[in-house]
Structure 1
Amino acid sequence: MTVQKVGIDAGGSLIKIAFQERGVMHYKKYPIGELESAISWLKAVAPNVMAALTGGKAHILQGEFFPNGTIVPEFQATCEGVRLFLLEEGKKMPEPYIIVNVGTGTSWHLVDGERYVRILGSGVGGGTFMGLGTILTNELDYQQLTTLAAKGQKENLDLLVKDIYESDKPPINGDLTAANFAKGLNVKHTNADRMAALTNMIGETIMLLTLQAAAKHMVKEIVFIGSSLIGNPFLTEILETYMKMLGLQPTFLKNGEYCGAVGALLSI
């Protein structure tokens, strides 16, 4: 390999790596528990690589593996990575716009010209999906959990508006959630139903916070990124449906989970 520069985003759940080889951008990711083996691979194939580091564990990487590595603030790296991906995908975004980064938790960034600022954060995100999903189903595999979510029926656990009004015409969309998991043990449900209800609750939480942020900053354009959207079509579908229902314009970047790593790489 002829890799001279690399961007590494070490977050709470994953370590994401971006590097260029012969003008082509490449991406790799590993569970954070495999951090040492991931860096050992990188050091073996590119022993003199220049590294730019970002994410919550950037200082650990610098101290243990890359003493000469540059640390890039996470929010700066994320936003710069988004700019590049939007350009590469030919998506011209009216400014200001909001970036919603659905990682282990979820964070919101406002981008306006050269100015970007983190405006909101939530502990509800991919970590919730994995942690609570494992508790509800005893399933440890992320892909299996997303498969269950896509097959389940959330209404087998969620109390919907139409359940409350029954024969009367509801004043709002009857398929909207009145109370998450409210049917509890009163009805039969499967692991798939539990994951569908959990995914819906995460999606609704992100949607409500996004709506508040968009209203406060008078923004209509929303860019979604983050590892928790990758391979999770049901969560993506929920977010897209709610955004359009609320009059917001969602954009999902193809390689959005690598925005931080790419943004770090751009700093070298």
Structure 2
Amino acid sequence: MTQIILGVDVGGTTTKIVGYRQNKTLIGTLQVCATDQMTSLYGAIGNFLKTYQCSLKEVVKIVLTGVGASFIEDNIYDIPTYKVKEFEAIGLGGTKLVKMEEALVVSMGTGTAFVRVQNGKVNHIGGSGVGGGTLMGLASLLIDKRDSHVVATMGEKGNLGKVDLVIQDITHELIPSLPQDATASNFGLVKSGVQEEDIALGLMNMIFQTVGMMAVFACQNTPIKHIIIIGSLATLSSAQSILNGIGQIHGIQFIIPEHAVFATAIGAVTPYL
């Protein structure tokens, strides 16, 4: 009988789950939304087993992380259940996905966490309230949209030149360290007649530029030149291109790996594989 280990990232209303065979082969990934953590957790396990045609008898370990893991005190379904601290899971998951031993892992969820993995150690170095919650709050107020993927799709048709002020708008002198089209002020050029698509792109640009620059600052005075972006916002269409622009200026490579949304769940299960 195949032995399976489940890694579960229990969020506020969304739970991400991954399954591995004990030979370290990934079975699959899945996420479930519910109104509370317990419903989300048990729903995720049930849906995962059904989706991938696995039996509960095959599950030999369950490893939890995330804010909702604190609500679980006992074994789940009498299966040995363990916990991994969320920041450790973020660091382990991000570096595992790109097969690196040294990097800054940036988890973009409702807010943003910055975790440095270096010399075999995982350190949470700080965080920011700027993240998916910021994007959704501002999008709701400004363009009456409440889905990040809808905002991102709208932004693909937007014109950033109608929203943001860039260097060449404020000076004709060349600045050696900055290209002329670098942002001088997010939303600093908004005028009447701006379209919703322009605002959507401006919001995306502001969120990713802010987080991207904070990540660059977190790498200063270290040898780290790779920043791994994980979490729900990492999958939005314009994320990579915006971050690449920052990386080119500062000599940093931003990486958005496959399964970025499930990186924390993957990190939770990693010590038990």
TM-score range, shorter chain: 0.7 to 0.9
Are the counterparts in 1 of residues 65 and 86 from structure 2 also a CA contact under 8 Å? yes
- Are the aligned partners of 2:113 and 2:128 in contact in 1 as well (CA < 8 Å)? yes
- Which residue number corresponds to residue 52 of structure 2? none
- Please provide the CA RMSD for this pair: 2.7
Q: Which residue of 2 aligns with 1:16?
A: 16
CA 1:194 to 1:71, structure 2 compared with 1: closer, same or farther past 3 Å? same
Contact 2:75/2:81, CA 8 A, preserved across alignment: no
Q: How does 1:148-187 map to 2 (within 5 A)?
A: 148-165=154-171, 168-171=172-175, 172-184=178-190, 186-187=191-192
Amino acid in structure 2 at the alignment position of 1:78:
I
Residue 84 of structure 2 is aligned to residue 79 of structure 1:
no
Q: How does 1:1-268 map to 2 (within 5 A)?
A: 4-12=4-12, 14-20=14-20, 23-33=25-35, 35=37, 36=39, 39-40=42-43, 42-43=45-46, 45=49, 46-47=55-56, 49=59, 50-62=61-73, 69-87=81-99, 93=100, 96-165=102-171, 168-171=172-175, 172-184=178-190, 186-230=191-235, 232-268=236-272
* Change over 3 Å in CA distance of 1:32–1:219 after alignment to 2: farther
Query: In structure 2, what is the Cα distance between the partners aligned to 1:2 and 1:96?
Result: 33
Distance 1:208 1:148, change over 3 A: same
TM-score, L = length of structure 2: 0.83
C-alpha displacement of 1:187: 3.0
In structure 2, runs of 5+ residues without a counterpart are 50-54
Q: How many aligned positions are there? A: 258
Distance 2:31 2:46 in 1: 15
Partner SS state of residue 238, structure 2: helix
Unaligned 5+ runs, structure 1: 88-92
Whether the 8 Å CA contact 1:13–1:104 is kept in 2: the answer is no
Partner of 2:156, secondary structure, is helix
Deviation track 1:169-191 (CA, whole Å, cap 9, x = no partner) reads 4534221222221234x331111
What amino acid maps onto 1:39 in structure 2?
Y
CA drift of 1:62 comes to 4.7
1:11 aligned partner, one-letter code: G
TM, length-normalised to structure 1: 0.84
What is the aligned-residue identity percentage?
Answer: 28
Partner of 1:90: none
Q: Deviations over 1:131-152 (max 9, x none)?
A: 2122211122332111012221
* 1:204-247 C-alpha deviation (Å, 9 max, x unpaired): 211221121111334222222222111x1212210122112211
Q: Which amino acid aligns with 1:30?
A: V
Secondary structure (helix, strand or coil) at the match of 2:146 reads: coil
1:25–1:113 CA distance, 2 compared to 1 (3 A): farther
Displacement after TM superposition at 1:74 (Å): 0.7
